[in-house]
Amino acid sequence: MIALLTGRIALMEADRCIVDVGGVGYLVHASTRTLSALPAPPEVARLLVETHVREDAILLYGFFDSAERDWFRLLTTVQGVGAKVALGVLSAMAPRDLVAAIAAGDKGSLTRAPGVGPKLAVRLLSELRDKVGAMPGGDGVALPVVAAPGSGLAADALSALANLGYRRAEAEPVVARAVERAGDDATLDAVLRAALKDLAR
């Protein structure tokens, strides 16, 4: 199992690179974010690696830092998200942006990633919303996701919950209680977390 490669960048392409380690060239698939962080050939680089073994191939996926690698691992636990889609998501969004989108129930941001349609975006939101706090960029999900100006905090929370599949009738009283408990310092993130906790009971 290959977990780390340090070698000369021999070739750089749109979604992969070749790392020359002692005369052996390793083909490594990566996000555009990781590829843009690598030095130009023939400079030496270090990549964290996830090795996927299939019947017909051994595939290497490279990451410039552990945050992106950890998100890749988490994303690929969601049904319908393979390595290619996970890299597409990570190309479109930095880990912190992913946390913010999931915390706010922002389906639109996720569908901008290649390979992510509306149904898969909803699945990502529902399966990952309870896990983002422990992820890089999550900071215990103390993310101040602030409501859009003029839209109203409760309205934004109801919209996010609707994106996650909750009916307005069940969400409205829960959101009202969450806003009241949060008081003057309420953020969209705090209200959503409190509302989701109530709805899960």
CATH code of the domain occupying 4-63:
2.40.50.140
Question: pLDDT tens digits, residue range 46-103?
Answer: 999 999 999 999 999 999 999 999 999 999 999 999 999 999 999 999 888 888 888 8
Give the pLDDT score at 151: 40
Cα 18 to Cα 31, 42, 89, 125, 127: the distances in Å are 14, 10, 22, 34, 34
CATH class of 153-199: mainly alpha
Residues above pLDDT 90, as percent of the chain: 53
Highest mean pLDDT among 32-36, 95-99, 153-157: 32-36
Hey, where are the domains in the chain?
A: 4-63, 66-139, 153-199
CB of 199 closer than 8 Å to CB of 166: yes
Residue 6 to residues 35, 44, 45, Cα–Cα distance (Å): 15, 7, 6
Residue 142 — pLDDT band, cuts 50, 70, 90?
A: very low
Torsion of the alpha carbons at 46, 52, 57 and 59, rounded to the nearest 10? -20
The residue that leads in pLDDT, 56 or 200, is 56
Q: Is the pLDDT of residue 141 over 60?
A: no
- At 9, the amino acid letter reads I
In this predicted structure, the answer to whether residue 19 has a pLDDT above a threshold of 80 is: yes
CATH number of 66-139: 1.10.150.20
